[in-house]
Each structure stands twice: as structure tokens, then as C-alpha cells.
């Protein structure tokens, strides 16, 4: 399991142990959204399989990985799962400007500049 520089820095700042991150990636639930993988440990699993001292560290942690397994970042948020599930599956594509007549756009820009 490989950590990006950002992931190791953020995990240290947020006091998330690398062993906890490994547990979440290995045994947690995965959500595939926007070209990345969100890993988290469901609360029922945490309460069933972990001692109460470890539950607080694992319960609200989310780990984001790339498809090649590189850990991108890790964070804690008790409301993260509903917000992750609301995300669209794919990132929005930028609009295509190739079909717009660029000379017409220049005229619009110039006329709007003089209108003010």
C-alpha cells in the first residue's frame, strides 16, 4: 500500500494512524465515485469487531484511493458517507467551445465593454 505525500502529511496532521488506514482500505466498504474510491468502515462493523478504544479512531474516518491503490488522502467526518453518496458518478465535463463562432464572441465582448 503506497501513500502519496499529501496522504501521509494529512494523516499525520489529522492524527489518523497508518494502521487504521490500512484496516479501512482492506476491510472497509468501498464507494466508486468520480474516478476515485472512497473507503470507510460501517458503524455496525466497527461496533461489532473493534474494541471501544479503537472505535473512536475508525468510526468516522474516510480514506480516498486511486484505482492503482495509491492512498490520496484520509479525513474524519461523521456525515461524510451521505455526502459521498450524493456525489455524481462522474465529474462534470467542461463545455465544448469548438462549435462557437469565435469572431461572433469577440463582437459580443467588445459591444458589452462599450455598453458599460
95 compared with 33, residue with greater pLDDT: 33
The CATH number of the domain holding residue 47 is: 3.10.450
Contact indicator for 40, 62 with CB cutoff of 8 Å: yes
Of these ranges, 34-43, 85-94, 99-108, the one predicted with the greatest mean pLDDT is: 34-43
Please identify which residue in the block is written with the cell numbers 499525520. 12
How many distinct structural domains can be found in the chain?
1
**Residue 95 resides in a domain:** no
Which residue range forms the structural domain that includes residue 20?
5-90
Give domain status of residue 104, yes or no: no
Domain assignment present for residue 114? The answer is no
Helix locations, the chain, DSSP H: 5-13, 18-27, 43-49, 52-58, 80-86, 102-115
d(CA 85, CA 80): 9
Q: What is the DSSP letter of 3?
A: B
Of 85, 87, 65, 83, give the one whose Cα is nearest residue 74: 65
10 lies in a domain?
yes
pLDDT tens figures, 29-72: 899 988 899 998 887 777 777 777 677 777 788 999 998 989 99
> How much is the pTM?
0.68
Amino acid at each position: 500500500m503506497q501513500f502519496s505525500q499529501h496522504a501521509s502529511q494529512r494523516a499525520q496532521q489529522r492524527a489518523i494512524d497508518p494502521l487504521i488506514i490500512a484496516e479501512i482500505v482492506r476491510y472497509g466498504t468501498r464507494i466508486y465515485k468520480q474516478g476515485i474510491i472512497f473507503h470507510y468502515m460501517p458503524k455496525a462493523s466497527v461496533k461489532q469487531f473493534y474494541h471501544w478504544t479503537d472505535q473512536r479512531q475508525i468510526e468516522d474516518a474516510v480514506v480516498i484511493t486511486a484505482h492503482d491503490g495509491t492512498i490520496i488522502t484520509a479525513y474524519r467526518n461523521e456525515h461524510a458517507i451521505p455526502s459521498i453518496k450524493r456525489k455524481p458518478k462522474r465529474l462534470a465535463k467542461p463545455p465544448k467551445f469548438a462549435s462557437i463562432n469565435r469572431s461572433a464572441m469577440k463582437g459580443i465582448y467588445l459591444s458589452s465593454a462599450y455598453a458599460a
